[in-house]
Chain A
């Protein structure tokens, strides 16, 4: 089953003269968690705002549920739940009133709103706070309420702009668990993130965007394979002393650890050992690993940055 829920064709967006999103095309299939991955300022939020009809692209076309965004914005949104980046619930209203407002805006009936709200408040561990004004909520509580508000009308499609950013482990875990459960119910989820671990754990497919350009789009495993010909050799020396140029490949020095990205494992390790012997250094640790999603991401994004 490969029903296309979102289809974006040649989306381009300028802010004045600044090109924020540069001719990107992709589609998202029914039932998948699609991760949109990129560093700060890459154009993730701009893209999500176009996909939800808040911003109009300068050129390109968006179809959601097979309907053209330009012509059917309201119909599309009826079936979509959205958690914008940094969007707050109304702080002068209680959690319950925020949910009721959302329900009304989605045209839900009173009874339905009450029942679903209670269900969601319980799911998000907010039930005790249902009549408390949101003003006093912590960041994590606000974010959980935000997600509850988006899920209230039980939408087929969820857009989440960095749903776990800045949250503690507990809130982040709860949110990730709920996202997975939504997927099991057949929902489609589009999420922006710059958290590699989230992307790796949650997403069926990820797209990597940098400077408004799509640079890769595939499953996390496949994307890792892009970097699979290279390995990551991580080691530490004591006393610490190391310079680039001692080994071939891309070198990253992180505190007292060195990461070398290279295809030539044997040659590189021999060079490191030789160097340590020559300089009379102790090798504290040495690991060879397949690159993580983050490593590949860094390699892809880093390349394009220069």
Chain B
């Protein structure tokens, strides 16, 4: 079976995910409303530069939107008994997961692109040559992360995965240099930050608004690339491994 036809079949999965999951309540709440409330809370009573705010806004938006859809797709499919038919069609598990990952990615891309327009109102000189690749790479990383998130435990209760993935997401949010810049953190906190993919997005975004980053830009990009490959690879491996447990 050619790679190309598997890719075009993954688009059928994307379309299905868009039609079914983009408008589900939890997705809208976790992916759209939540980051804005959080951002509002972050904003109140602070005197921060526009560039700094913009970076925080984009990072939170990209992070929450691209991780809103993904974690619950497979558990939801298992629960509503659609999963078995899906994986008995002529596509590989990898294709299914690649489709689900793209669905997360496009959701993030649409909303983040829209929110990026705030750069105009905030009067930010945005270097698009940096900004666009950084956002795309970051969205890919976070989307790939959702594949890993949905892989274990092999539950068919979407709320369980939702809870676990929220826990991970919030932990990452607070250690990623959005609220406190990396250079102001003690060394041990910085070491913890290094394990969060969000850290590298935030850092790279600073370059796009002509601020200084903590790591070199190339390192940020490579780190995100590696994270996305690792997330997807292990996500697929674990999904394959626990597949049998999803049929009871």
The chain A residues found within 8 Å of chain B, CB to CB, are 15, 49, 52-55, 74-75, 77-78, 82, 84, 86-93, 97, 101-102, 104-107, 146, 149
What is the chain A residue whose CB lies nearest that of B245? A15
Contact count A vs B, C-beta below 8 Å? 72
Residue B5 at the chain A interface, CB threshold 8 Å: yes
Contact at A84–B88, with CB atoms within 8 Å? yes
| B90 in contact with A90 (CB, 8 Å) | no
**Which residues of chain A come closer than 8 Å to B12, judged between CB atoms?**
101, 104-105
Q: Chain B's interface: helix, strand, loop or mixed, by majority? A: helix
Residues of chain A contacted by B86 (CB below 8 angstroms): 105
B84 touches A101 (CB 8 A): no
* Inter-subunit contact A104/B88 (CB<8 Å): no
Chain B positions within 8 Å of A92 at CB level: 19-20
Taken together as a complex, chains A and B put the C-alpha atoms of A106 and B1 apart, in Å, by: 12
Q: Is B49 interfacial (CB 8 A cutoff)?
A: no
Q: Which of A49, A90, A105, A146 has the most CB of B within 10 A?
A: A105
Q: Which residues of A contact B244 (CB under 8 A)?
A: 15, 55
Of all chain A residues, which has the CB nearest B96? A105
A120 to chain B, nearest CB (A): 16
CB within 8 Å of A: which of B89-111?
A: 89-92
Determine whether the beta carbon of A86 is less than 8 Å from that of B88: no
30 example contacts (A-B, Cβ-Cβ < 8 A) are as follows A49-B247, A53-B88, A54-B84, A54-B88, A55-B247, A77-B90, A78-B1, A78-B90, A86-B81, A87-B81, A87-B85, A88-B80, A90-B16, A90-B82, A92-B20, A93-B19, A97-B19, A101-B12, A104-B8, A104-B15, A105-B12, A105-B13, A105-B86, A105-B89, A105-B90, A106-B89, A106-B90, A107-B8, A107-B9, A107-B90
B3-39 interface code vs A (CB 8 A; 1 in, 0 out):
0010011011101100110000000000000000000
Q: Which residues of B from 62 to 93 have beta carbons under 8 Å from A?
A: 80-82, 84-92
How far apart sit A91 and B12, CA to CA, in the bound complex (Å)? 17
Smallest CB–CB gap between A14 and chain B, Å? Answer: 11
Instruction: Assess the B91–A105 pair: CB atoms within 8 A.
Output: yes
In the complex, A75 Cα to B92 Cα: how many Å?
Answer: 11
What CA separation (Å) do A84 and B78 show in the bound complex? 13
Docked pose: A53 CA to B89 CA in angstroms: 10
Known contacts A75-B90, A78-B90, A82-B89; can you find 15 more A-B pairs with CB under 8 A?
A55-B244, A75-B1, A77-B89, A78-B1, A84-B85, A88-B82, A90-B20, A90-B80, A91-B80, A101-B12, A105-B13, A105-B86, A105-B91, A107-B9, A146-B85
